[in-house]
Amino acid sequence: MGEPLNVGVIGAGNISGAYLRTLETLPLLRVAAIADRDPRRAAAAVAQVPGARAATPEDILGDSDIDIVLNLTPPAAHAQIALAAIAAGKHVYGEKPLAASRSEAAEICDAAVKARLRVGCAPDTVLGTGIQTARASIEQGLIGTPTSAIAVFTCFGHERWHPDPEFYYQPGGGPLLDMGPYYLSALVHMLGPVRSITGAASRPRPERTIASGPRAGTTFPSSIDTHVTAVLEHESGALTTLVMSFDVLASRASNIEVHGTGGSLVVPDPNHFDGEVLLASPGVSGWQALPPSAGYVEAARGYGLAEMAQSIGEDRAHRCSADLAYHVLDCAHTLLQASQEHTTLDVTSRCDVPPLVPLSG
C-alpha cells in the first residue's frame, strides 16, 4: 500500500461530520485541509480531525499537496467547485447530485476526461451490504426474472429538522434531487440503466416554515416541485414505480420492493449502507431474511471516496463514477421534464453498471 492521498474538504456543513468520522478510519486517505464559506464551521470541523488545517477554498485548490477535493458544498455550487478542482489538477469526489443541471454535469465529465482525472459522486450507500446483497440475490436468480419495482421516499419536509433548509427547496434540491439519487442509484445497480420515464409532479405547499434551531418560525418560499411520481422503464424491461415526496406526513410503504417471475424482495433503505433484505418465494410461508452476501460490511459515508482512491492505485474504474451519477441526474431531469410536458420521454444517457462489491469487512 502506498502513501495515503491527501484530501481537501470544501464545505463543512451538516453532512461533513459523517464523512470526517469515516475518513479518519480509512488508511488510503488523509484529510489535510477543510474550508467553508463560514470560517467558524471550518474551524469546528478541523477540531475533529487531528493534523488537518483550516483553509479557504482557494488555498485548497492552490495546494499542490492536495490530491483529491471532497466537494460537500450545496448543490448549486457543485459544478463551480468541481470544475475549479479539475482545472487545478485534482481528482474530485462530491456529494450528490453531480451538479444542479445536466449541462453543468456534462461539463464536469468532459473536463475530467480531458484532464485524465477522476470524478466520483455520492451516494456510496449502494456499496454497503444492503443494496449489494439485494443485487446479488437478483443476479443469483432468487426472484426469477425481475419484472417490476416500487421505490418510495416520503417525509413532511426537511425544514422540520434542518436549521438552514432553504437549499432543499431551490433548483438542485427537492425530494427528487436530494433523496432521489439514493433510490435511482440503487435501482440502476439492481435493474440496470433507465430507458424512458413517464412523470408527474406537484407543489402542494408553496411556503415552508423552519421548525427547529435558532431560525425556528422563519418562513421561506419553495421554488421547486416537492411531490414527484413516475414510471421508469429500465433497459432490462423491468418497470419501476417511483414516489419522492416532501409532502407526506406518514407512510408504511417499503423503501424499495423488487418483484420477479419467481419471487419478491424487500430492499432496505438506500440512504443506509446495511439493513435486512427480505425474500418471498413461492411455496414458502412469509418473508425470509437473507444473510449479507455482498458489499462492504459496516460501511459509512466516505467509502465511495476510499474505493475511488483504491481504484486510482489499481488503475481501474471506480464504482461511484461520474457516468453513473450523470445518468441518475439525467433520469431526474428527464422525469421533471416529462411531468411538465405530461408525456413519456426517453433518457438519452447510459452508464455501465458497476461490478458487484464482494462481501468484505
The pLDDT of residue 2? 67
Q: Domain boundary residue among 77, 101, 121? A: 121
Per the structure, the complete domain to which residue 12 belongs is given by: 5-121
Tens digit of pLDDT per residue, the chain (361 long)?
Answer: 568 999 999 999 989 999 999 999 999 999 999 999 999 999 999 999 999 999 999 999 999 999 999 999 988 899 999 999 999 999 999 999 999 999 999 999 999 999 999 999 999 999 999 999 999 999 999 999 999 999 999 999 999 999 889 989 987 789 999 899 999 999 999 999 999 999 999 999 999 999 999 999 999 999 999 999 999 999 999 999 999 999 999 999 999 999 999 999 999 999 999 999 999 999 899 999 999 999 999 999 999 999 999 999 999 999 999 999 999 999 999 999 999 999 999 999 999 999 999 999 7
Is 315 domain-assigned? Answer: no
79-129 pLDDT tens trace: 999 999 999 999 999 999 999 999 999 999 999 999 999 999 999 999 999
Q: Are residues 114 and 131 in the same domain?
A: no
Q: CATH number for the domain including 212?
A: 3.30.360.10
Could you tell me how far CA 97 lies from the centroid of its own chain? Answer: 7
Is 310 domain-assigned? Answer: no
Does a cis peptide bond (omega within 30 degrees of 0) precede residue 123?
yes
Q: Are residues 50 and 131 in the same domain?
A: no
The pLDDT of residue 214? 93
d(CA 207, CA 259): 38
How many CA atoms lie less than 13 Å away from 240 in the CB half-sphere? 31
Q: Domain boundary residue among 102, 121, 140? A: 121
Q: Are residues 269 and 152 in the same domain?
A: yes
Q: Are residues 24 and 165 in the same domain?
A: no
The pLDDT of residue 245? 98
Is 353 domain-assigned? Answer: no
Phi (first) and psi of residue 320, to 5 degrees: -90, 70
Q: Are residues 140 and 266 in the same domain?
A: yes
Is 24 domain-assigned? Answer: yes
d(CA 143, CA 159): 39
Q: Are residues 253 and 140 in the same domain?
A: yes
Q: Are residues 239 and 153 in the same domain?
A: yes
How many CA atoms lie less than 13 Å away from 212 in the CB half-sphere? 8
Does a cis peptide bond (omega within 30 degrees of 0) precede residue 97?
yes
d(CA 232, CA 198): 7
Q: Are residues 194 and 52 in the same domain?
A: no
Q: Are residues 64 and 168 in the same domain?
A: no
Q: CATH number for the domain including 60?
A: 3.40.50.720
Enter the pTM of the model. Answer: 0.94
- Per the CB < 8 A criterion, the answer to whether 21 and 29 are in contact is no
d(CA 205, CA 227): 10
Is 273 domain-assigned? Answer: yes
- Exposure class string for 194-217: b at 16+ Cβ within 10 A, else e: bebbbbebeeeeeebebbeeeeee
145-185 pLDDT tens trace: 999 999 999 999 999 999 889 989 987 789 999 899 999 99
Q: What is the tally of structural domains in the chain?
A: 2
- Say which residues have a Cβ less than 8 Å from residue 58's Cβ, sequence separation at least 6: none
Q: Are residues 84 and 103 in the same domain?
A: yes
Is 307 domain-assigned? Answer: no
